[in-house]
Every structure is written in C-alpha cells, then in structure tokens.
Amino acid sequence: MEQKEIQELSEKILRLKKERNAVILAHFYQRPEIQDVADFIGDSLSLSQQAASTDAEVIIFCGVHFMAESASILSPGKIVVLPDEHAGCPMADMIDAVQLVCKKQEIPGVIVVCYVNTSAEVKAECDIACTSANAVKVVASLPPDRPILFVPDKNLGLYIAAQTGREMILWEGYCNTHDKLTAEDILKAKAEHPEALVMVHPECRPEVTALADKVSSTAGMINFAAASDAREFIIGTEMGILHPLKKRCPDKQFYMASKKLMCPNMKKTTLDKVYQALVTLEPRVDVPEEIRERAIVCLERMMAIK
C-alpha cells in the first residue's frame, strides 16, 4: 500500500472511530501504520486495562485472539472486535482447559500460574496470571511450600525459575517466533555491532537470555533503550518493536538479532481490516460470562500484587 493510500485510509479510520465511540488498541508487534492509528500502543494486558478505563463503547484490538479475550474479560459491557478472526497465538493453542484440568489432578496442592498468553478457558482453570513484566514478582509471591505449575511457555518458566530459585513444573509450550532466536544469532550480531547492548524477551531460549544485557518485556525494552546512555542496541524480539523504538529514540541505532523474528499472526491485521472492523463491528470476541467470572479472578489476583 502506497503512503498516500495509507494516509487516506488512516483518516477514514480516525473519523469512523469517533462516530463509533471506539478505542483502537495496537500491540507493539503490529504493523507501523496500525500503531499510528491506535489510541494506545503497548503490551497485551496493559492495553486491555487502558481500554477498560475509557468510556469507549467499542474496542478494536489489533493483536491476537487471547488479547481480545482479555479485553472482553476486563470490559464485559463493551463490544470487542478483532479485525482478523484468524489472528491467533500458536503458544496459547499449545494448552487447553481439558489438558490443564487433567494435569492439575496429577499434582496435589498445586498452584497454577498462567502466562497471559493463554485462552480465557485456560485462565478460568488457573490460580493466578502473570505477564512477562511481572512474572518473577508473581512467582516470588507464592507460598514456598506448594508446588507450582507454570503454563504454557517453558522458556519464560525457565527464566522465572532462574531469577527466583523456585522449582516449577513447566508446560512444554513456547513462542514460535522467540524460540527461533539462537545463541549463534546473538553472537553473530554482537560481532557485527560490538558496541551495541543486547535486549531480549524472556520468551527466548535460556542460552539466548544468558547472553543479553537486558531481559525484559517489550515495553521494558523500549524504556531501557530510552534511559540508557548506549547508542546502539541489538533487538531479540518481534520486529514490530522497531517502530516505537525509533519514534522514542530517533538518535539511536537498532539492529534485529535475526531476520526470523516476525510473527505472521501479528501481521495479519491490516489497515483495511481495521476499517472494516469499524464499519461492521465484526468479528466480535465475547467471553461467556461463566468463563469470564472465573478468568477475571486469575487476573485480579495478579493485579493485586504490587
């Protein structure tokens, strides 16, 4: 799409958004033109929390399905629309509620911690949720005398265990995008850019996080780069982060650790789909009340931890 077309369609979206009393949310991994029409740009749960605090009647969530579900959980009176109904998360799909219930029955007294990258049905079966930003704090807050089951991201679980010293039973899930990044990729990037600091997401493999100067959530990486005296950074997360990084830090240089760091699901949302979502208010994401009531307990317990 040419720049003129992007500008014209963006203007249509902004006009229609006002007519619909809608708020547009965009994850950091979305296309640049999607981020540019959004009211809020951020990590998944923070976006849902921001939308819940507005008086908007409609939430257009430019992300993936579990994120739109979180918005529905926190804003039950609002219409939640996911512009592309096929924008899912392979990691979230690596566990379902039936599998989790069976596993819980095998571990007496278990506390189940779920990453927010899970379905509403899975959250409804968990004790407490976490984000990549607060996962260490959440796990550290749990009683030391009870077993912990962490779902679904094994890599994030290994990082938490290393930081807290807690033993955890880990689900064998992973992020298809972050798991592609290897230690060899990092070492090659460091050889090419010896002055650059390395920032990676905790969904990466342990041998990758071990080579990083900063392991952080996406928002945390942006804040770290902005506050740092360093002028160059190697990025170990989805390439969509480059857009907000360059806007926040125009005088600094950013290098992707690998060309493989692109999430196809995050890129399914286009400006045209956002416009059509505003026109039709479809496809909607609506979490059934019985599931929502149980899932929100899991989220509220996490949000209560300071």
Residue 9 resides in a domain: yes
Same domain for 84 and 7, yes or no, is yes
Query: Is 1 a residue whose pLDDT tops 80?
Result: no
The answer to whether position 66 is within a domain reads yes
Task: For residue 67, give both structure tokens.
Answer: 């994120």
Place of tokens 């995050």: 266
9 & 71 share domain: yes
pLDDT on residue 2:
87
Strand partners, 40: 25
Angle in degrees, CA 261, 23, 41, rounded to 5: 30
Whether residue 82 sits in one domain with residue 7:
yes
Give the mean pLDDT of the chain. Answer: 97
Token reading at 153 = 């991201």
Tell me, what's the pLDDT at 168?
97
Q: By C-alpha distance, which of 55, 72, 67, 98 is closest to 269?
A: 67
Q: List pLDDT tens digits, range 227-248.
A: 999 999 999 999 999 999 999 9
Residues in the chain: 306
Is 302 within the bounds of a domain?
A: no
Q: How far apart are CA 290 and CA 286, in angstroms?
A: 12
Q: Is residue 292 part of a domain?
A: no
Q: Is residue 304 part of a domain?
A: no
In whole angstroms, give the CA distance from residue 271 to residue 255.
26
Residues 232 and 277 in one domain: no
Amino acid at 153: D
- Would you say residue 101 lies in a domain? yes
Q: Is there a contact between 136 and 126 (Cβ–Cβ < 8 Å)?
A: no
100 and 136 fall within a common domain: yes
Question: Residues 102-132: pLDDT tens digits?
Answer: 999 999 999 999 999 999 999 999 999 999 9
- Residue pLDDT, tens place only, 30-87: 999 999 999 999 998 999 999 999 999 999 999 999 999 999 999 999 999 999 999 9
Task: Read off the amino acid at residue 265.
Answer: N
* 282 and 209 both lie in a single domain: no
Mean pLDDT of 255-267: 98
Cα-only R_g, the chain: 19
With a cut of 80, say whether residue 306 has pLDDT above it: no
User: Residue 113's beta-bridge partner residues?
Assistant: 128, 150
| Same domain flag for 235 and 193 | yes
Q: Tell me: the pLDDT tens digits for 11-35?
A: 999 999 999 999 999 999 999 999 9
Looking at the fold, whether 100 and 131 belong to one and the same domain comes out as yes
Cis peptide before 264 (omega within 30 of 0): no
Is 39 a domain residue? yes
Q: Token pair 């592309």 is at which residue?
A: 84
Domain count, the chain: 3
Max distance between CA atoms of the chain, in angstroms, equals 61
Determine the structural domain holding residue 237 and report its residue range: 178-256
CA 254 to mean position of chain CA atoms: 21
Report yes or no on 303 lying in a domain: no
Total-model pTM: 0.95
57 and 108 assigned to the same domain: no
* Residues 51 and 77 placed together within one structural domain of the fold: yes
d(CA 232, CA 228): 10
Q: What percent of the chain has pLDDT over 90?
A: 98
Question: Would you list the DSSP string of the chain?
Answer: --HHHHHHHHHHHHHHHHHHTEEEEEETTS-HHHHHH-SEEE-HHHHHHHHHTS--SEEEEES-HHHHHHHHHH-TTSEEE-S-TT---TTGGG--HHHHHHHHHTSTTPEEEEESSS-HHHHTT-SEEE-TTTHHHHHHTS-TTS-EEEESBHHHHHHHHHHH----EE-SB--TTGGG--HHHHHHHHHH-TTPEEEE-TTS-HHHHTT-SEE--HHHHHHHHHH-S-SEEEEES-GGGHHHHHHH-TTSEEEES-TT---TTTTS--HHHHHHHHHH--SB----HHHHHHHHHHHHHHHT--
